[in-house]
Amino acid sequence: MQGARNGKKPHVVIVGFGFGGLEAARALRGAPVEITLVDRTNHHLFQPLLYQVATAGLSVPAIAAPIRFLFRRQPNVTTLPGVSPAAKQMGRHAARMILRRLRGEPTQPFRCRDYGNLATIGRNSALVDLATPVGPLRFSGLPAWLFWLFAHIYSLIGFRNRIVVLIDWASAYWSSQRYARVVSGIEPKNGAPR
């Protein structure tokens, strides 16, 4: 928690949005605090019903509620998205703040910048929604698919990995064959059903 001493609203950071985090954020509804929720996922998972999902008695969406949806009517809650652009910004900010502390300078609040979203749908099909200084830039279809593809190859760590993935994807594209195969040769024990 920070901010209480310099006259600003206290800033509460809740790490982990399970039952504990959910109850803490709800209990602070209407309180004079700013809450930031951080989780490695973007949903709350109702774990006691996982068995039912595992045995196909329930679907996954029935027990996973998006965090933003849960807090759509609680204005003092902000969620940090569990996506790589936000994680990279957080990492860079943390490093900058460490350097400021080493120099004896005060730390600064983190502001997450929304660069937009990329989503692939299938072969030659994707959606691009970029946040630019002059407004949103949106396109779809083959250009969006190529943009998605090169953005991900560029983001891969290591030159060799980029080349390997580029060759694998090019080969998969021209041959219509997937690179990975899942082969299961495990025989069931004691006559258990397969």
Give the footprint of ligand FAD on this chain (CB under 6 A): 15-21, 38-41, 47-48, 50-51
Q: What number of other Cβ atoms are within 10 A of residue 35's Cβ? A: 22
Which residue lies nearer to ligand FAD by CB, 48 or 188?
A: 48
Which residue lies nearer to ligand FAD by CB, 40 or 189?
A: 40
Bridge partners (DSSP) listed for residue 5 = none
Bridge partners (DSSP) listed for residue 115 = none
State the minimum distance, in angstroms, from the CB of residue 187 to ligand FAD.
28
DSSP count for the chain of H helices, then E strands: 7, 8
Structural contact between residues 106 and 100, judged by C-beta atoms closer than 8 angstroms? yes
Which residue lies nearer to ligand FAD by CB, 48 or 122?
A: 48
State the minimum distance, in angstroms, from the CB of residue 101 to ligand FAD.
22
Structural contact between residues 116 and 128, judged by C-beta atoms closer than 8 angstroms? yes
State the minimum distance, in angstroms, from the CB of residue 143 to ligand FAD.
35
Residue closest to ligand FAD, measured at CB: 18
